[in-house]
Structure 1
Amino acid sequence: MSKITLLDGGLGQELIKRSSAPPHPLWSTKVMLDEPHLVADIHRDFCDAGARVICLNTYAISRHRLKTYAPEYSVKEMLDAAVSTARQGIGSASSGDSVSIVASLPPLNASYDHTVAPDFDSAYEQYSELVTLQKDAVDGFLLETMSNITEATAGAKAIRDAGVVGAVAFTLNDKDPRELRSGETLEEAIAAVKPYTPDAIMVNCSTPEVVTEGLKIALKSGVRCGAYANGFTSVEALVPGSTVDRLSSRVDLGPAEYLAFVKTWLEMGVQIIGGCCEIGPDHIRAIRTYLDEKAIETTDALIP
């Protein structure tokens, strides 16, 4: 088996467990402003759990979100803060592993809801800005939780035009894993981004069961594939402007249960593994322990 890239897990939901502050529409970014040590601690804990790739706390950083919820801060200020807290956390880890850093390129206006997504030109401009501001500080980009083809292609083009390493990750319909949350098919979405030669096609922020089915389609692409599922019962209650405390976590998806899904993904040929919302350091530790027991090498390169 080739080397496996082991990502970290979901930072935002981990902060829910550790911070006493009330949830905010800019949740993980707001905590980074008020309690930066918590963000650094979570990065450290994912490193110590065995993650080889740490994702910056940049999921909620976009022009629209900052203008709406924190207009006093610039995009660059927030991106720089994310890099600083990540380096602090990695620097305090005791794991001894080499670790790389990737930046999240998120849905620009809201998660899961394609109806509020910007048009292609606006999305491309914003993603290009985010890539330009971060490319010298990170080892790659995760264009993640893509619910529609327009944003996915705009982000994929921005990554390729900048000549940086980047993966595209799609979030799927909980009731039909053949579809994005927009109703467009995953097959169509992969065909739309392939001309921009993404370094990996991934499925993320969907239930593990849906991820498994979606991977059957993604693996046909011939591109390196990855998976990182969430631990929510459903995301339907989250609407633009609402906060993540509206969502409920599953009680049947502890580290052992999540690992069972990961084993299936590895057997299918997936080469990038991690966790999304509600998947914490203990889940990543269980994956790393399994990989070590099976003498499966891990790498800190998104694309070895």
Structure 2
Amino acid sequence: MPLTLLDGGMGRELARRGAPFRQPEWSALALIEAPEHVQAVHRDFIEAGARVITTNSYALVPFHLGEERFAAEAGMLAERAGRLARAAADDADDDGAPQVRVAGSLPPLFGSYRPDLFDAGRAQEVLKPLVEGLQGQVDLWLAETQSSLVEARAVRSGLPADGKPFWISFTLRDEQEDGSSVLRSGESITDAVEAAVALEAEAMLFNCSRPEVMGDALDEAWLAVGRLGARLELGVYANAFPPQSEDATANDGLDELREDLDPAGYLAWVERWRERGADIIGGCCGIGPEHLEALRAGLD
């Protein structure tokens, strides 16, 4: 199957460029104070080869914005995030390049990497302004960095029946020592595939985990897809962080990036994932446009 190339990580790229960036707002701060930086990052990922770009809506949750600002501005900021990505994609289409699609990022609603923090009672309340703000701008929905199946099901249940493809991306435990890969909740890859198929996902991916755990996850996922006789694209977009422990909270601090995951180092992992059947490949935190350029050149 032809490869679909995703973009890389927005937050760390904004920080690297000197855009407004601090805790707890994270990548939302540039969206609030200097949205031109967000659009510039989208453009650079497209120029590097990305054919799916992700809206900068990951941090538009109470964890980052605070309850008061979230209640007042989340919908408006989500619409802005969608509009910036849409403009960058449309500009690329006008230049005669292959079509660029916009994925509406629907993040963990109560904190990344922490399935124990998920609040089913508030999930739809937090999700609603993001979906309403993004809906008119995106080509597909991407529930990303999901730590558990209950999170993924909650996001799916909050989406409109608009016919847009649904992609789901799970984050994996970084510290597995027995060679198997599992979700951060401890649920199996096979269970994740069965859930993705039941939720009528077009694609299932693994993201925001270290590269070392991705290959085994792909292998188990393909076995489950074959056993079910399902049609499901699989993909990977890893981060450049050291392993994150089970009690970590994403973006609670600015993690160091691994020196071995420079563009050439990341490409070496990507080539293995492609050999293991990944249809969709990109990057998460710490993977920038220069990595995408290396992927495009190496995979060509």
Q: What is the TM-score when the length of structure 1 is the normalising length?
A: 0.86
Give yes or no for contact 1:207–1:232 (8 Å, CA) kept in 2. yes
CA–CA distance in 1 between the matches of 2:270 and 2:46?
Answer: 19
SS in 2 for 1:74: helix
Matched, 1:264 2:272: yes
Give yes or no for contact 1:54–1:100 (8 Å, CA) kept in 2. yes
SS in 2 for 1:85: helix
In structure 2, the gaps of 5 or more residues are 226-231
Report the Cα offset of residue 240 of structure 1: 4.8
**Residues 174-232 of structure 1: CA deviation (Å, up to 9, x unaligned):** 12252211222222233233211111111111111111121112222322101100000
1:120-139, aligned counterparts within 5 Å?
Answer: 122-124=122-124, 126-127=126-127, 130-139=130-139
Report the Cα offset of residue 241 of structure 1: 8.7
Report the Cα offset of residue 22 of structure 1: 5.1
Which of 181, 187, 190 is the aligned partner of 1:187? Answer: 190
Q: CA RMSD in A?
A: 2.5
1:105-120, aligned counterparts within 5 Å?
Answer: 105-119=106-120
Give yes or no for contact 1:118–1:151 (8 Å, CA) kept in 2. no
Give yes or no for contact 2:263–2:290 (8 Å, CA) kept in 1. yes
Specify whether residues 95 and 35 from structure 1 end up closer, same or farther in structure 2 by C-alpha distance, changes over 3 A only. farther
Name the counterpart of 1:172. 172
Which of 261, 265, 290 is the aligned partner of 1:253? Answer: 261
Name the counterpart of 1:56. 55
Give yes or no for contact 1:6–1:52 (8 Å, CA) kept in 2. yes
Specify whether residues 197 and 273 from structure 1 end up closer, same or farther in structure 2 by C-alpha distance, changes over 3 A only. same
Specify whether residues 34 and 131 from structure 1 end up closer, same or farther in structure 2 by C-alpha distance, changes over 3 A only. closer
**Residues 141-178 of structure 1: CA deviation (Å, up to 9, x unaligned):** 11110111210122233348553211111100112252
Name the counterpart of 1:299. none
Name the counterpart of 2:28. 29
Amino acid at match of 1:17: R
Matched, 1:232 2:231: no
Amino acid at match of 1:214: A
Report the Cα offset of residue 124 of structure 1: 4.5
Specify whether residues 190 and 160 from structure 1 end up closer, same or farther in structure 2 by C-alpha distance, changes over 3 A only. farther
Matched, 1:221 2:230: no
CA–CA distance in 2 between the matches of 1:209 and 1:192?
Answer: 24
Higher relative contact order (CA 8 A, sep 6+): 1
Report the Cα offset of residue 236 of structure 1: 3.3
Give yes or no for contact 2:174–2:245 (8 Å, CA) kept in 1. no
Matched, 1:280 2:288: yes
The alignment of Structure 1 onto Structure 2 pairs a total of residues equal to 289
Matched, 1:6 2:5: yes
Specify whether residues 51 and 238 from structure 1 end up closer, same or farther in structure 2 by C-alpha distance, changes over 3 A only. farther
Give yes or no for contact 2:7–2:51 (8 Å, CA) kept in 1. yes
Amino acid at match of 2:221: A
Give yes or no for contact 1:159–1:165 (8 Å, CA) kept in 2. no
